[in-house]
Amino acid sequence: MNSEKPIKPIAKDLIHEKVTDALISYIYRSGLKIGDKLPGERQLAQELAVGRNSVRQGLCQLEEKGIIERMVGKGAFVKREVTADSIQLKLMRVNYQDLLEIKICIEQLAIRRAVDCATDEQIAHLKVLADRLCAMADEGKFSVEVDRQFHIALLECGGSSTLTQLVLSLIDSLNSFTNILGNVSDIWVRTIPFHRDIVTALEQRQASYAIAAHEYIYRYDLEVLNSLTET
């Protein structure tokens, strides 16, 4: 093995997943080909500054992905080459999740403001958009544009143009992943009922109800993220 390319130590959160990522990056950077052997668990644990159990879990994930093959008494060997495309896809997945989490936090702040600030006219407009989304969902359709209009109206209910612009830029960035995600409208259609729940919560001035509905939308967004991983 090339000792001049050490694996950098990693943080302690989500250890085994980070070990997996570090190993994939190592295989790529080291130019390992099918049949080449990886360092032993002890060496990997020392270089990554983690326990051997974490390394073992990371290697198990690589084996499940079909990237390596482990042989009792012999070690772990590359079974499938790691390409630049697979590294790029991983980065895209991380970027998507980061953008999504930031968007959720800011939008929930806007929702809390909306509970106190939204006018009856704003809520009525939001309800029209939610009804339009629901009508399309009944036909199995999802409109990115109408959904965007709904979220713009929701943000405007919060009364902060700064929050509105922040979230809109995040929404547009997330929508830029559409070509990578493929057709995931069947997942997004399932978020539509919670849009109407948010409107109902605003009508009743119940922040916890609105945030709970928003959390369900976030869960389905994570499902979209998982579909990117599977792809």
Integer-rounded Cα radius of gyration of the chain: 23
Q: Judge contact between 78 and 40, C-beta under 8 A.
A: no
Would you list the domain boundaries of the chain? 15-78, 84-230
pLDDT at 90 over 80: no
CATH 2.40.50.100 fits 15-78, yes or no: no
Mean pLDDT for 57-64 is 87
Neighbouring CB atoms inside 10 A of 35's CB total 9
pLDDT bucket at 145, cuts 50 / 70 / 90: confident
DSSP state letter for 37: B
pLDDT at 25 over 70: yes
Question: Please, what sign has the CA dihedral across residues 134, 184, 145, 198?
Answer: positive
**CATH entry, 84-230, from 3.30.110.30, 1.10.10.10, 3.40.50.300, 1.20.120.530:** 1.20.120.530
pLDDT at 85 over 60: no
Which tokens is 106 given?
């800011």
pLDDT at 83 over 80: no
pTM attached to this predicted model: 0.54
pLDDT tens readout for residues 146-184: 988 998 898 888 888 887 887 777 777 676 665 555 566
DSSP string computed for 61-92 = HHHHTTSEEEETTTEEEE-SPPPHHHHHHHHH
Query: 200: helix, coil or strand?
Result: helix
